[in-house]
Chain A
Amino acid sequence: MSTVPAAGPARVRRMAVLAALALTAAAAPGQLRAYGLVGDLDAGGTVFGGPTGNGLDLQLAFSGATLGSDLAVKTSASGALRLQDTTASSGAAKFRTDFGLGRGPAIPGLSVFGEGSFDADGETAASGAVVSLSWENDDFGLELHGTGERSFLDDASWKAGASFEASSAFGSVVLRLGGYLSFEAFDAGGSETVAGPVLAATWYPGFPVSADCSAGWKRSDASGGIEDALPLTAYLAAAPARWLVLSADAYFLLGLGEPDSIDEGSLEFTAVFTAADDPASGRSLRFPLGVTAEWENSALSALEFFAGIRLSLYR
């Protein structure tokens, strides 16, 4: 008879919380005066099917965050694998840790990130850092970001970028106006400059709905010449019942070079059913169900139906 205790959900949860504590404490010893700690371990499996084939998406994600009066730290790591016809057709893994010092009105921040992925087109990996400065008062916020990134493997490159976002609340609407500029130099030769403004809004009406939309303009200057495009997004979430969250998410990049050209786009409808959400034990069990359609070069490139299971453990 074994004397080793079984690794039950409570033990897994404790380990997740300890891991979050270890990460945050290691990042800033002695500085934490946390009043909030959120540890969230998410394991999900999604079965998908459509004209492009059937398969299984597996996802594992961890995030830990502490919001203190001196320091806010959020760290997250996630992995996803797509199994199609008994082989792994694509996969991605990423991590990111954000540090924010103080709680305003000006908050300097630092983020480090790394990611890797593979699919039929090849393998990529990248890592980098973002320095940021946020400034907030009652109804106005400003964020400035500077990014440096190194990509490895296929399409190896150096990338540098800067962006800003000003946000303000008008009643129940948060309006954001931003802009970005990035320059990427490829090891194999050539470069690409991308720039554009973005206008976005989030609506918090006071009934169980929230909505986002954004529109921008994107100019890319690469060796192939200058290309202009309009990135558009829309997102609507509704919670008609405590156990149900519905969302619709749309993204389109409209090329301005050719009339009626959809460079890329996606449309996703999701219903997430909450089967259990027990704050006492810190467990949540949800079942996402939905459909996704994707477009590339003005043609429908994928249509998928998905059904999954998602277990979250949190503190």
Chain B
Amino acid sequence: MSRRRSASTLSIALLLSLSLAPIGQAQELERILGGTEAAGHYSAVEPEILDALRTATAAGIPEDLLSSRLREGVEKRVAPDLLIQALKAESERLVTIMSLLRERGVTLAPDSLGRLLSDASLALRAGVTVAEFRHALGLASGPDLGSPNGETRGSEADGRIAADESKARAALRAVGAASLLAAIDPQRGLDQDLRNGLLSGAIHSSFKTDRLASLFSVFVRGRALGLPAPVVARLVSSELESGASLVAIDRALTRLGRKR
């Protein structure tokens, strides 16, 4: 009797485990997709979707970063194989960026981290290579770009906080410079020295990080003034390296350019 009961219990448990696994996956995907009507189209690739999401989450990437991309793709009814391909590529990019940030000891609050990862991923999608991004992080980690005077004062805890802030600022600057490079040269038409020069110039410039994007408009104006793109890039890079402000670059551009 007891042998029969234990056998039936085992059978029920086995049946439950077999049926609950897909139910659990489906529920998880449904939770991530937030009740999107089109979710049913992707049932065949659910395991791969969840795998890509879990890989990213395990690397410390905020879940919403990838799931929002997933929702976007699902809402647009992107073909399942293309969706998986894009999701895996995005997951790999984010994991790579995260590991580069860890190499530099960068720690950020989830919100800031999400924004930084998202911007960095966009830059990588627009032609910035992993090597260039690593280079930018290295350049931005110089002592002059950290805490004022490169010094920390107060207690050991204060020092640690200041060091963390300094690393976070450096990472934000590197991402700002990479985003600028991606905007200026998305098709990698400029030679590598010039691309490195733009990265270095932007990072070492007197521009505040949230103002670096203005240089993209400078680039547009230079082209509209009749200058070939590499000539404008060289001018911007040279001026930035010499510490020029927006006022000085504006003047240099006006002097060098001409209309039609």
> Using Cβ atoms and an 8 Å threshold, which residues of chain B touch A168?
247
Given A67-B252, A312-B228, CB of A140 within 8 Å of CB of B247:
yes
A138 on the interface (CB 8 Å rule)? yes
> Using Cβ atoms and an 8 Å threshold, which residues of chain B touch A174?
246-247, 250
Interface size on A, residues (CB 8 A): 61
Query: Which of A5-13, A152-160, A239-247, A294-302 lines the interface with chain B?
Result: A239-247
Given A202-B250, A205-B214, A284-B228, CB of A38 within 8 Å of CB of B223:
no
Q: Are A98 and B223 in contact (CB under 8 A)?
A: no
Q: Are B247 and A314 in contact (CB under 8 A)?
A: no
Q: Are B260 and A270 in contact (CB under 8 A)?
A: yes
B42 on the interface (CB 8 Å rule)? no
Residues 140-175 of A, flagged 1 when their CB comes within 8 A of B and 0 if not, give 110100000000000000000000000111011010
Q: Are B216 and A207 in contact (CB under 8 A)?
A: yes
Give the A-B contact count at a CB cut-off of 8 A: 137
Query: Which of B96-104, B132-140, B182-190 lines the interface with chain A?
Result: B182-190
The complex places the Cα of A195 from the Cα of B39 at a distance, in Å, of 70
Choose among B194, B206, B216 the residue that contacts A206 (Cβ–Cβ < 8 A): B216
Residues 196-240 of B, flagged 1 when their CB comes within 8 A of A and 0 if not, give 000000000010000101111111110110111111001100110
Q: Are A237 and B252 in contact (CB under 8 A)?
A: no
> Using Cβ atoms and an 8 Å threshold, which residues of chain B touch A207?
213, 216-217
Choose among A136, A239, A247 the residue that contacts B248 (Cβ–Cβ < 8 A): A136
Q: Are A314 and B256 in contact (CB under 8 A)?
A: no
> Using Cβ atoms and an 8 Å threshold, which residues of chain B touch A67?
235, 238-239, 252
> Using Cβ atoms and an 8 Å threshold, which residues of chain A touch B239?
67
By beta carbon, the residue of chain B nearest A279 is B230
B36 on the interface (CB 8 Å rule)? no
Q: Are B214 and A206 in contact (CB under 8 A)?
A: yes
Given A138-B206, A169-B246, A314-B230, CB of A279 within 8 Å of CB of B251:
no
Q: Are A210 and B229 in contact (CB under 8 A)?
A: no
B129 on the interface (CB 8 Å rule)? no
Tier of interface size on chain B: 35 or more
> Using Cβ atoms and an 8 Å threshold, which residues of chain B touch A40?
227-228, 231
Smallest CB separation, A63 vs chain B (Å): 7
The complex places the Cα of A209 from the Cα of B260 at a distance, in Å, of 17
Choose among A139, A208, A284 the residue that contacts B246 (Cβ–Cβ < 8 A): A139
By beta carbon, the residue of chain B nearest A137 is B245
The complex places the Cα of A35 from the Cα of B215 at a distance, in Å, of 20
Smallest CB separation, B244 vs chain A (Å): 8
In terms of DSSP, what is the predominant structure of the interface of chain B?
A: helix
- Please report which residues of chain B, range 111-131, place their CB below 8 angstroms from some CB of chain A when the two chains form the complex: none
Smallest CB separation, A287 vs chain B (Å): 12
By beta carbon, the residue of chain A nearest B187 is A242
B107 on the interface (CB 8 Å rule)? no
> Using Cβ atoms and an 8 Å threshold, which residues of chain A touch B260?
268, 270, 272, 288, 290
Given A167-B250, A171-B211, A205-B214, CB of A245 within 8 Å of CB of B224:
yes
Choose among A141, A172, A279 the residue that contacts B217 (Cβ–Cβ < 8 A): A172
By beta carbon, the residue of chain A nearest B225 is A237
B258 on the interface (CB 8 Å rule)? yes
A238 on the interface (CB 8 Å rule)? yes
* A139, A204, A207 interface centre (most CB from chain B within 10 Å): A204
Q: Are A249 and B259 in contact (CB under 8 A)?
A: yes
Q: Are B235 and A36 in contact (CB under 8 A)?
A: yes
The complex places the Cα of A63 from the Cα of B256 at a distance, in Å, of 8
Given A103-B242, A210-B220, CB of A279 within 8 Å of CB of B190:
yes
> Using Cβ atoms and an 8 Å threshold, which residues of chain B touch A36?
234-235, 238
Q: Are A209 and B217 in contact (CB under 8 A)?
A: yes
A69 on the interface (CB 8 Å rule)? yes
Given A204-B221, A206-B214, CB of A138 within 8 Å of CB of B245:
yes
Given A67-B238, A139-B245, CB of A247 within 8 Å of CB of B224:
yes
Smallest CB separation, B183 vs chain A (Å): 8
B255 on the interface (CB 8 Å rule)? yes
Smallest CB separation, A292 vs chain B (Å): 10
Give 22 A-B contacts (CB < 8 Å), ordered by A residue: A38-B231, A40-B231, A74-B256, A104-B248, A138-B206, A141-B245, A167-B251, A169-B246, A203-B217, A204-B214, A204-B218, A206-B217, A237-B223, A242-B186, A242-B189, A272-B224, A278-B189, A279-B190, A284-B228, A288-B260, A314-B230, A314-B231
The interface of chain A, by Cβ under 8 A from chain B, is: 35-36, 38, 40, 42, 61, 63, 65, 67, 69, 74, 76, 78, 98, 103-104, 134, 136-141, 143, 167-169, 171-172, 174, 202-210, 237-239, 242, 245, 247, 249, 268, 270, 272, 274, 277-280, 282, 284, 288, 290, 310, 312, 314
* 4 new A-B contacts at CB < 8 Å, known A204-B214, A237-B221, A270-B260: A38-B256, A136-B247, A167-B250, A171-B211
Ranked nearest first, the 7 interchain pairs of A and B with the lowest CB-CB distance are A206-B213, A237-B224, A204-B217, A210-B221, A284-B228, A204-B214, A279-B230
The interface of chain B, by Cβ under 8 A from chain A, is: 183, 186-187, 189-191, 194, 206, 211, 213-221, 223-224, 226-231, 234-235, 238-239, 241-242, 244-248, 250-252, 255-256, 258-260
